[in-house]
Amino acid sequence: MSAATAPSAATAPSAVAASTAGTVAIEGLTVAYRGRPVLRDIDLAIAPRERVALVGPNGAGKSTLLRAVAGLVEPAVGSIRLGGASLRSLDRLSIARRLAVVPQLPMLPFATTVEDVVALGRLPHEHPIRGLRPADRAAVAAAIDRVGVGHLLGRDARELSLGERQLVLLAMAVAQAAPLLLLDEPTVHLDLRHQVEVMELLVDLNVRDGTTILAVLHDLRLAAHFFPRVVVLDHGRRVADDAPRAALAPDRIRETFGVDPAHVGELASSPQAGDGP
């Protein structure tokens, strides 16, 4: 990873008390869409500075779990606490200072440059009247540098490829500098090199800045390689929650994903995955 960019004050989480910042505590969470349960009785505790991969087959409820943590879907039963505070008691601005989400690729209605998009990450921090202050601009510049989208500056975000846009939105979430970062399939449109680079960036954000990471991933190899903890969801239930080798054991892969483990290959944890807490 780059040694050139030291974690600056602007990108370090500071809004919430350091001891509980970035923690997620989910208890007995059940979420239903139109009466159909999508998540059933989920318990999940994520400590500060943890790096957690969320995997599971399509429709297992991974995205819904992220949306619930982000406060976009109301739990039918159960509670979610962010950094020690009940999600229900937090307004949108407080939530945005506690967690950043890499959003889905949006349709932009107007010509919007890459730096305009990344600067949106500072919305929760900027001055209500004056807008971006020098510290915000520094955070934006640092995020652009860190995600490596500097060569896209000045371009209309609508003209970028899907992969480039995904990186720009990641830079936006990095600029938001929240103690918890949620990602839903952050590598789906990326080529192999950028997939690995995004994973390495997540490790770096986690290890150096102390950002808690919760990422939905489809690629089990990336999950096993870069994450020390893997949570497996199936039919809305948490069926495994362990180090990659245990969580993604051959039996589990056969049972949950319906695939012969031989197709997945050896899911070796790298030494990097052990860097975390």
Partner 1 sequence: MSSRVDAAGGPAASVVGAALPARRAGSRLRHALARRPVALAASGGLGLLAMLVAGVAAGSVAVPIEQTIAILGHHLLGLDVAQTWTAAQATIVMELRLPRVLTAMTVGLGLAVAGATFQGILRNPLADPYVLGTASGAALGAAIAVLIPVRALVLEFGLIHGLAFLGALGAVVLVYRLSRVSGHGQMTSLLLTGYAVASLLAAGLAMAMYLSGAGLRQIFAYLLGGFDAATWGRLAAAMPLVLGASVLIMLRARSLNGLLLGEEAAAHLGVDVRRERTVLLGLASLATAAAVTVSGLIGFVGLVAPHVVRLVVGPNARLVLPLAAIFGAILMVGADLAARLVGEIPVGVVTAVVGAPFFLVLLRRARTGYEL
Task: List contacts with partner 1 (CB under 8 A).
Answer: 1-5, 70-72, 91-93, 95-97, 100-101, 103-104, 106-113, 115-121, 123-124, 126, 128-129, 131, 137, 140-141, 144-148, 150-151, 153-155, 158-159, 176, 197-198, 200-201, 204
Nearest distance in Å: CB 270, partner 1? 17
Retrieve residue 198's tokens.
């995004």
CA distance 124 to 94: 8
Inter-residue contact 51 to 93 (CB < 8 Å): no
Q: Judged by CB, which is closer to partner 1: 112, or 255?
A: 112
Nearest distance in Å: CB 101, partner 1? 4
Q: Which of 167, 56, 184, 178 is nearest to 125 (CA)?
A: 178
Nearest distance in Å: CB 89, partner 1? 14
Retrieve residue 210's tokens.
């102390």
Nearest distance in Å: CB 39, partner 1? 18
CA distance 87 to 18: 18
Q: Judged by CB, which is closer to partner 1: 57, or 210?
A: 210
Please give the biggest Cα pair distance in the chain: 58
Q: Judged by CB, which is closer to partner 1: 150, or 250?
A: 150
Q: Judged by CB, which is closer to partner 1: 88, or 158?
A: 158
Q: Which residues contact 33 (CB under 8 A, 6 or more apart)?
A: 64
Q: Judged by CB, which is closer to partner 1: 226, or 257?
A: 226
Amino acid at 234: D
CA distance 110 to 116: 11
Nearest distance in Å: CB 104, partner 1? 7
Chain centroid to CA 171: 12
DSSP string over 109-173: SS--BHHHHHHGGGTTTSBTTTB--HHHHHHHHHHHHHHT-GGGTTSBGGGS-HHHHHHHHHHHH
Nearest distance in Å: CB 175, partner 1? 10
Q: Judged by CB, which is closer to partner 1: 31, or 144?
A: 144
